Amino acid sequence: MTIRWYPGHMGKALEKMSEAIRKIDVVIEVLDARLPASSSNHQLQEIRRNKPCIKLLNKHDLADPNITKAWVRYFENETGVHALPLSAKQHSETKQLIKLCQRLAPNRGRPGWPLRAMVFGIPNVGKSTLINTLAGKSMAKVGDKPAITTCAQQIDLHNGIILSDTPGLLWPNMEDQDVAYRLATSGAIGASALDYTCVGLFAAEFMMRRYPKLLADRYKLDEMPETPTAMLETIGRRLGCLISGGEIDVHRAAEAFLRELRAGKIGRVSLEEPGDFADQSASIMAEAESGQD
């Protein structure tokens, strides 16, 4: 199944963001620490211009810690970019973000001269959770489904910083279906645009190849099934995803497996490593720089 998902509000929001970013001091791009490259909107790289950028690796508590460290080193090599892994739900961790913003814009953040930061990222990556944690109260809608925020808003943190929240944006044409399937695995794609069985098979194959021990420990496997389909059937049996006659409901098994994977119940998992995207990143940055000439 080919995954395509681009709700209409996203195109209009991108145009507005391109204009608004002219008045912004610091750009905060919220990424999913489990798939930082796939969860980065390449169109946003172009409109950022030369603004200081913080690549915030959210949900780092769900990601493979060694791979997250590699991503931090990778992003820190980009001009004007600073990488910060944290959990948007933890107030103690988000304090690091405030300090970093103040360091990147030392002449702002005083009376009459607020530090203006824009938060952006793809759907369901944790932007609204981050804003609510920073504000200390519910300022932005939060949900476990993508595309919850559909219009821009400004939030005064009353510490010299004003945040601009933006809708979650995906790029219109996801030609790389591996990227699309990683996004779907993480929960960033709307349920109406995907087939849970196909995504479950993709995730099962990846986990069997990269994290077999986590699967074995979670589902008490004496030996690894030979195929992704057999893995989903085994998981379905373990989780009671049965239909009449005792057969496995593979669709339900895939849904249950993805829920457990997304929630971190199987373990800390990263769906990609920096080396997988080195050539692609260089090409994107070259295009962005040529567009500024």
pLDDT in tens, the chain (293 residues): 665 554 555 556 677 777 778 889 999 999 999 999 999 877 777 777 788 999 999 999 999 999 999 999 999 998 889 999 999 999 999 999 999 999 999 999 888 899 999 998 887 888 889 999 998 866 554 444 433 344 457 889 989 999 988 765 655 456 778 888 999 999 888 777 789 999 999 999 999 999 999 999 999 999 999 999 999 999 999 999 998 888 999 999 999 999 999 999 999 999 999 987 654 444 433 433 444 44
C-alpha triplet 77, 279, 284: angle, nearest 5°: 75
Q: Are residues 152 and 202 in the same domain?
A: no
- For the chain, the domain total comes to 2
The whole-angstrom separation of Cα 292 and Cα 39 is: 24
Q: Is residue 104 part of a domain?
A: yes
Q: Is residue 113 part of a domain?
A: yes
Q: Is residue 89 part of a domain?
A: yes
Which residue, 122, 137, 172, sits at the end of a domain? 172
CATH of the domain at 251: 1.10.1580.10
Residue 213: enclosing H or E segment and its boundaries?
helix 212-219
The tens digit of pLDDT for each residue in 19-65 reads 778 889 999 999 999 999 999 877 777 777 788 999 999 999 999 99
pTM over 0.95: no
Q: Are residues 124 and 209 in the same domain?
A: no
Count of CB atoms within 10 A of residue 152's CB? 15
Q: Is 281 helix (H, G, I), strand (E, B) or coil?
A: helix
Smallest Cα–Cα separation from 176: which of 280, 75, 81?
A: 280
CATH of the domain at 124: 3.40.50.300
Q: Is 133 helix (H, G, I), strand (E, B) or coil?
A: helix
Token pair for residue 225?
Answer: 């099934």
What domain range includes position 37?
9-172
Q: Are residues 161 and 258 in the same domain?
A: no
The whole-angstrom separation of Cα 170 and Cα 192 is: 15
Which residue, 144, 172, 200, sits at the end of a domain? 172
